[in-house]
Structure 1
Amino acid sequence: MKKLLLSLFSFGALFFACVPSEEIKPAEANLRTLAAYEKELANSSTKFALDLFAQLNDPEEPNQFYSPYSIHQALSMTMNGNKGEVLQEFVDLLRYEGMSMDDANRGSKEMTEFLLQVDPKVKMAIANAIWYKQGYQVQVPFKNTAREYYNAEIAALDMRNPNSVNIINNWIAQKTNNLIKDMLDQIPSNAVMYLVNAIYYKADWKYQFDASKTKKENFYPNPGNPALVDMMDSDKPSAFRSYFGDGYHYFEIPYSTGQYSMGILYNPQGNLDQISQYLNLGNLEMWRKNSSEQNFILKMPKFKMKYKMANMKDDLMEMGLVKPFSFHPDNFTKLFSNPTDDLKISRVIHDAVIEVDEKGTEAAAATIVEVVERTSMPTGPRTVVLDKPFIFFIQEKHSGAILFMGKLGDPSKL
């Protein structure tokens, strides 16, 4: 019997020794060297995110949530329909200074691909789509750029059909795992194009919270005025990359392999106005570079937030994107090959949702750029009614000679 047990033990040891090591190794990040234009794109996107935070940060609104990356992607795609001074406004807003259009577009494509692939344990999706008015013709270079660099789905849409709203909304819902629903309320009669980005993210914490430790505790929106919230508790120390500044603390709560994290910036007083002044690209780079691992127990609120901006027009205009929001012949000259009346962006709609619990984080956002025409151009043949007196003549095209001429003032008297 002892020999049999020994044989079985030896066989088991041999079996587990033969299991390929990659099957039991933890998942690793898919890292690669970033090209110069990818690094520039990442910096541009981050600068835009910080600019946007400074613009949208409203002391009267205690909670805000949005996706700067989604907005940056949607406006980058829209940018390619312009040239000259209008294009320059997009370049300045999106912080593409010093980059060529090719590098900006190529950087957008490859940075998105990198983000989607870098962590195999993070579920992530980024998608773009363009719908244009049925009967209109999109210029081939714009269409090619949208497909090649933004992997955009492009389709004509009968915008007079009430169901067209559902087509766009259903696409957004599908791409955001049904977190963003019924985002677009209506399609105006003079709409000619919708440029849409959707982003979805789901990841588990590297160090998950024990749900049994979550309990109601005080959270202080204002000193001395507590509110009861569901407070999660890690219960035991974990390693968080941290940087302690003069009166503030920056740290990162890692997801999965640690390639993604939730950055936190706070001070013990909970003074958002005070700490927001430290939020800039230079400090962010310094915090990331100089932070070190600190072991501590983390307690934080469990929360779910939905935040929608019905139109970002005023904020984007204050940030420098002005001409595209007014009808002007210079707007979107590289968009359509058929003649159109003056075009403008009427709305930039953004919708976002996030849920943070003991297991991790699920978040989604979508951005819609709505382009409209000054007048709704008829899609069928025009009807001209000659019901007033008129002059008429018969002429030869090549020479211009008029062979006959007359006027009709009252056909009833003929």
Structure 2
Amino acid sequence: MRKSIRLLTGVLLLFVFMIFLMGCRKQIKSKNLLSGVVAEKVSGKVLNQTFLDSQFSLSLNLFKESVNESLNENVLISPLSVALALAMTGNGADGVTKSQMEEFLGGGITMDDLNEYLYTYVNSLPSGSNYKLNIANSIWYRDQEERLKVYDSFLQKTVNYYDAELYKSPFDDTTLSDINNWVDKNTDGMIKKILDKIDPDHIMFLINAIVFDAKWNIPYKKDDVNPNKFTDINGDLKDVTMMKSNEIDYIFDDYAKGFIRPYKDEKYSFAALLPNEGVSIYEYINLLTKESLTNTLNNYERTEVTAFTPKFSYSYEIEMSDLLQKLGINDAFDPMSADFSKMGKSSAGNIFIGDVLHKTYISVDEKGTKAAAVTKIGMKETAVDPFSEKIIKLDRPFVYMIIDNQTKLPIFIGVLVTV
């Protein structure tokens, strides 16, 4: 029976979107092992350009491949959610499997150094009353000691660097409910569940969840929100509600122009790029490079920008196994070649990644943005110039991001092609 690892990343909407999550908390019945595991002190590593470049590359590679597999659809991914779930998994890898994961996650940065960098980065991301960013990780493994042995050293690293919650569970309907309740809780209800069933050969799930909820630094006024039109990817005119604002950060490259709109306290921002007339959205995405995107986000022009942004919301889901193999993670998905010998051992056979599922959701309105992302990995056996005003009207397909203003890394990146 094919063994697998599943990766799931939930709602993204980090940018301009709002997601409302409500509901009572449901009790998790699986055995929480954290009472017996104390996080050891780690210092982290100071973020450098090598690490930042690797994360821009990872973000663009994931985004481009996701778009290629979802043509004519709205796409939204959280590179950070995918990276954190895979990094936890990578701490159980060795040999060629580990090398391939290191190359994808950090351009060759060792797993030990990646742990340190990601620890520093995640803990540098601010969260406050007007801009909430919560990140949660968990590992669930089968409570069947004669079949599965999970190494303490692996679990300790995930606690030390990723603050992971650890659950030993029977992998029955109770576990299914527990995992989905955990996802529901840690995405503020934006993603209700990540699993429909647990297969007999599932032995472990590694899950990351991200929630973003931020208000605009300058709210939209009632008179600035009006009916308008959006020309979708098929050339059809769609009714939308368009929000008008005055911005001061104009961004552009050779093929597109856009703007940056900050959230409260300017810790995070929404960035949008509209391809020039005559450049299709997919041509533009293919032309994006790490260098061009980094340059665009870091070298904005201070000038008056009249921006028009549509209200929108949507869900997105993609199975990433093939995509990740195209990007170089091959052995991890091969039942014979996968080497997760630092994670544990199974009496039933080799451990490898079988599938990677990424789920996202986004909603944008006048008040701000709420977003969430969940990544599940399931292991189986086996100064303003008043004379240069710009007008940016997002009334046709465009690329958007939710970025943290310190590093300019996209926490979420998507493309809107229809409403």
Answering whether residue 244 of structure 2 is matched by residue 233 of structure 1, we say yes
Whichever residue aligns with residue 108 of structure 1, its letter is L
2:191 counterpart SS class: coil
Displacement after TM superposition at 1:261 (Å)? 0.9
Aligned to 1:263: 271
* Contact in 1 for aligned 2:142/2:168 (Cα 8 Å): yes
Q: Using the alignment, how far apart are the partners of 2:52 and 2:370 within structure 1? A: 22
Question: Structure 1's 38 and 177: CA in aligned 2 closer, same or farther, altered over 3 A?
Answer: farther
Written as runs of structure 1 = structure 2, the 5 A alignment for 1:303-382 is 303-309=312-318, 311-328=319-336, 330-336=338-344, 339-374=347-382
Out of 142, 148, 163, the residue aligned to residue 151 of structure 1 is: 163
Question: Structure 1's 222 and 347: CA in aligned 2 closer, same or farther, altered over 3 A?
Answer: closer
1:94 counterpart SS class: helix
Displacement after TM superposition at 1:317 (Å)? 1.2
Whichever residue aligns with residue 162 of structure 2, its letter is Y
Calculate the TM-score normalised by the size of structure 2: 0.75
Aligned to 1:134: 143
Whichever residue aligns with residue 225 of structure 1, its letter is D
Displacement after TM superposition at 1:329 (Å)? 6.0
Q: Using the alignment, how far apart are the partners of 1:230 and 1:302 within structure 2? A: 6
Displacement after TM superposition at 1:326 (Å)? 2.0
Q: Using the alignment, how far apart are the partners of 2:243 and 2:275 within structure 1? A: 19
Kindly report the root-mean-square deviation, in angstroms, between the aligned alpha carbons of the 2 structures. 2.1
Q: Using the alignment, how far apart are the partners of 1:86 and 1:248 within structure 2? A: 39
Answering whether residue 51 of structure 2 is matched by residue 49 of structure 1, we say no
Displacement after TM superposition at 1:218 (Å)? 0.9
* Contact in 1 for aligned 2:183/2:191 (Cα 8 Å): yes
Displacement after TM superposition at 1:263 (Å)? 1.6
Whichever residue aligns with residue 154 of structure 1, its letter is L
Displacement after TM superposition at 1:233 (Å)? 2.0
Aligned to 1:3: none
1:314 counterpart SS class: helix
Q: Using the alignment, how far apart are the partners of 1:338 and 1:106 within structure 2? A: 29
Residue-by-residue CA offset, 1:378-409 (whole Å, 9 max, x unaligned): xxxxxxxxxxxxxxxxxxxxxxxxxxxxxxxx
* Contact in 2 for aligned 1:41/1:108 (Cα 8 Å): no
* Contact in 2 for aligned 1:123/1:203 (Cα 8 Å): yes
* Contact in 2 for aligned 1:265/1:275 (Cα 8 Å): no
Displacement after TM superposition at 1:41 (Å)? 3.5
Larger Rg: 1
Higher relative contact order (CA 8 A, sep 6+): 2
2:85 counterpart SS class: helix
Displacement after TM superposition at 1:126 (Å)? 0.4
1:61 counterpart SS class: coil
Aligned to 1:112: 122
2:134 counterpart SS class: strand
Answering whether residue 308 of structure 2 is matched by residue 299 of structure 1, we say yes
Displacement after TM superposition at 1:198 (Å)? 0.3
1:179 counterpart SS class: coil
Higher mean displacement: 291-300 or 138-147? 291-300
Question: Structure 1's 299 and 319: CA in aligned 2 closer, same or farther, altered over 3 A?
Answer: same
- Structure number having the greater strand percentage: 2
- Structure number having the greater helix percentage: 1
Out of 281, 285, 299, the residue aligned to residue 290 of structure 1 is: 299
* Contact in 2 for aligned 1:344/1:372 (Cα 8 Å): yes
Aligned to 2:403: none
Question: Structure 1's 172 and 211: CA in aligned 2 closer, same or farther, altered over 3 A?
Answer: farther
Residue-by-residue CA offset, 1:250-298 (whole Å, 9 max, x unaligned): 4211111222111211124372123213422211221233212221222
Written as runs of structure 1 = structure 2, the 5 A alignment for 1:105-254 is 105-117=115-127, 121-135=130-144, 136-159=148-171, 161-222=172-233, 225-234=236-245, 237-239=246-248, 241-254=249-262
1:137 counterpart SS class: strand
Aligned to 2:392: none
1:82 counterpart SS class: coil
Question: Structure 1's 322 and 74: CA in aligned 2 closer, same or farther, altered over 3 A?
Answer: same
2:55 counterpart SS class: helix
2:340 counterpart SS class: coil
Displacement after TM superposition at 1:129 (Å)? 0.3
Question: Structure 1's 244 and 329: CA in aligned 2 closer, same or farther, altered over 3 A?
Answer: closer
Whichever residue aligns with residue 152 of structure 2, its letter is V
* Contact in 2 for aligned 1:38/1:110 (Cα 8 Å): no
Q: Using the alignment, how far apart are the partners of 2:345 and 2:235 within structure 1? A: 63
Displacement after TM superposition at 1:56 (Å)? 1.2
* Contact in 1 for aligned 2:227/2:242 (Cα 8 Å): yes
Aligned to 1:380: none
Question: Structure 1's 220 and 100: CA in aligned 2 closer, same or farther, altered over 3 A?
Answer: same
Whichever residue aligns with residue 364 of structure 1, its letter is A
Is there any run of 5+ residues in structure 1 with no aligned partner, and where?
1-33, 375-414
Residue-by-residue CA offset, 1:6-42 (whole Å, 9 max, x unaligned): xxxxxxxxxxxxxxxxxxxxxxxxxxxx954465443
Q: Using the alignment, how far apart are the partners of 1:110 and 1:69 within structure 2? A: 13
